[in-house]
A = this chain, B = another copy of it.
């Protein structure tokens, strides 16, 4: 009988790439040189310059420069292909010009696998210089480009910061269902499916469930996919995206929710600086200042940009995308902030569960967060009283019979609460200074795109 005792590096699939690199760097920093190391990775490029060839290996986060020498390295370079998986062993020395500050003079190369065909596009180029359409068509291969993959490594960091920060603030992580009963949240933009002969939909947001869970844990969050069947084919819409949601009970004001988001953004900035510095450097990302974020009322914001940019207010109850951009520009110019909270959205533009402003019921205790002129978050305080939620649902023409489970939480008692939803890809798009949200979506889903 064999037994498994868990991971140690000798027993498992070779050294973890970044860890192997870290170990090498530590030894170099300690003054060692000329020591032997073994590394596994994909052959990213081969630059053959006669009796010497530079073999660049692609590891999980970094590129490592290896030097092949005819007669020294026990392998025929002619048999080495780009996108082969290899294990190499060689001698490590510092090399200022190499990507990681060292290079490995190869003694042996062992091919672990080989491709069947050369790449259809040179993914090792620094910038791909190809159309977005091609980048999306060839997504599984294109993502092997170091800049492309760095974008999604940064997204790991954003989601990690979201979870870690909220766990530290006493939140509980939840996993709510994505297949939901018809009409759970109303609205037209839903994907419908047949669920064992019942009409079902894909969740547009975890709104109802996270509110239910506020009654259970007080503070909850979820990072999970949401689905919107919107027919918009714009640079900022996706039909499936990752929503970072939280909901918190026992608030004194909807500004508590904004405070919590500000705290998250500050934590995110610190985490990305500390643990994702190589990706930030690779992509040339300058993290925004989030030490303080201005806030402005919806109607005031409209007035300010109308005056400053001589733009007539067409609809006092709606924000056009261009107005959002101008609000972003205004707060950049006037207050040096790339973020701005726009508060007190009109009641008619917010869902029924948004709490009305007690001082003026035409507006709600809600907000959007704009980042460089793009809405990345919608949030606010929610109704918590039973009669009030019934009243507001009826005002919107919703049928209370279809939402008994949701309404029950108010009937049996809910604390004052609020929360928000943050679109991961939109936040990433702005951080990365991309002009199309698809650049920040791993496998984007849009009106025309269902594959890969």
Stretch at the interface among A24-32, A91-99, A177-185: A177-185
Residues of B within 8 A of A83 (CB): 412-413
This protein's copies in its complex: 2
Nearest B-chain residue to A213, judged by Cβ: B143
Is A288 an interface position by the 8 A CB rule?
no
Nearest B-chain residue to A447, judged by Cβ: B196
Per-position 1/0 for A380-404, Cβ under 8 A of B = 0000111100000000000000000
Q: Would you call A115 and B42 a contact (CB within 8 A)?
A: no
In the assembled complex, the Cα of A67 lies from the Cα of B260 at a distance in Å of: 32
Is A74 an interface position by the 8 A CB rule?
no
CB within 8 Å for A115 and B411 given contacts A85-B416, A450-B198: yes
In the assembled complex, the Cα of A139 lies from the Cα of B140 at a distance in Å of: 41
Which listed residue (B119, B169, B414) contacts A7, Cβ 8 A? B169
Q: Would you call B172 and A410 a contact (CB within 8 A)?
A: no
Distance between A300 CB and nearest chain B CB, rounded to angstroms: 10
Which listed residue (B152, B163, B239) contacts A174, Cβ 8 A? B152
Is A155 an interface position by the 8 A CB rule?
yes
Per-position 1/0 for A409-424, Cβ under 8 A of B = 1111111100000001
Q: Would you call B115 and A3 a contact (CB within 8 A)?
A: no
- Among A155-171, those with CB < 8 Å from B are 155-156, 159-160, 163, 167, 169-170
Is A117 an interface position by the 8 A CB rule?
yes
Nearest B-chain residue to A123, judged by Cβ: B412
Per-position 1/0 for A1-40, Cβ under 8 A of B = 1111111000111101111000000000000000000001
CB within 8 Å for A18 and B84 given contacts A60-B218, A149-B216, A450-B180: no
Which listed residue (B5, B84, B260) contacts A262, Cβ 8 A? B5
Q: Would you call A415 and B112 a contact (CB within 8 A)?
A: yes
Which listed residue (B116, B196, B424) contacts A411, Cβ 8 A? B116
Residues of B within 8 A of A112 (CB): 250, 415-416
Nearest B-chain residue to A159, judged by Cβ: B173
Nearest B-chain residue to A424, judged by Cβ: B175
Residues of B within 8 A of A351 (CB): none
Stretch at the interface among A100-108, A219-227, A357-365, A371-379: A219-227
Q: Would you call B216 and A143 a contact (CB within 8 A)?
A: yes
Is A47 an interface position by the 8 A CB rule?
no
CB within 8 Å for A1 and B413 given contacts A384-B113, A442-B174: no
Q: Would you call A225 and B178 a contact (CB within 8 A)?
A: yes
Is A307 an interface position by the 8 A CB rule?
no
In the assembled complex, the Cα of A248 lies from the Cα of B3 at a distance in Å of: 21
- Among A332-348, those with CB < 8 Å from B are 335, 341
Q: Would you call A113 and B4 a contact (CB within 8 A)?
A: no
Q: Would you call A443 and B209 a contact (CB within 8 A)?
A: yes
Distance between A139 CB and nearest chain B CB, rounded to angstroms: 7
Name which of A1, A117, A167, A451 has the most chain B CB atoms within 10 A of its CB.
A451
CB within 8 Å for A452 and B405 given contacts A256-B12, A260-B12, A386-B115: yes
Going nearest first, the 9 A-B pairs with the smallest beta carbon separation are A83-B413, A115-B413, A16-B170, A405-B452, A85-B415, A7-B263, A13-B251, A116-B386, A6-B263
Could you list which residues of chain A lie within 8 angstroms of chain B, going by C-beta atoms?
A: 1-7, 11-14, 16-19, 40-42, 59-61, 81-85, 87, 112-120, 138-141, 143-144, 149, 152-153, 155-156, 159-160, 163, 167, 169-170, 172-181, 191-196, 198, 200, 202, 209, 212-213, 215-219, 224-225, 227, 229, 231, 239-240, 242, 248-252, 255-256, 258-260, 262-263, 265-266, 290-296, 335, 341, 384-387, 405-406, 408-416, 424, 442-443, 445, 447-448, 450-452
What are 15 A-B residue pairs whose CB atoms fall within 8 Å in the complex? A6-B259, A6-B290, A13-B248, A13-B256, A117-B386, A140-B406, A144-B216, A177-B240, A178-B240, A179-B450, A180-B450, A181-B450, A181-B451, A193-B193, A198-B450
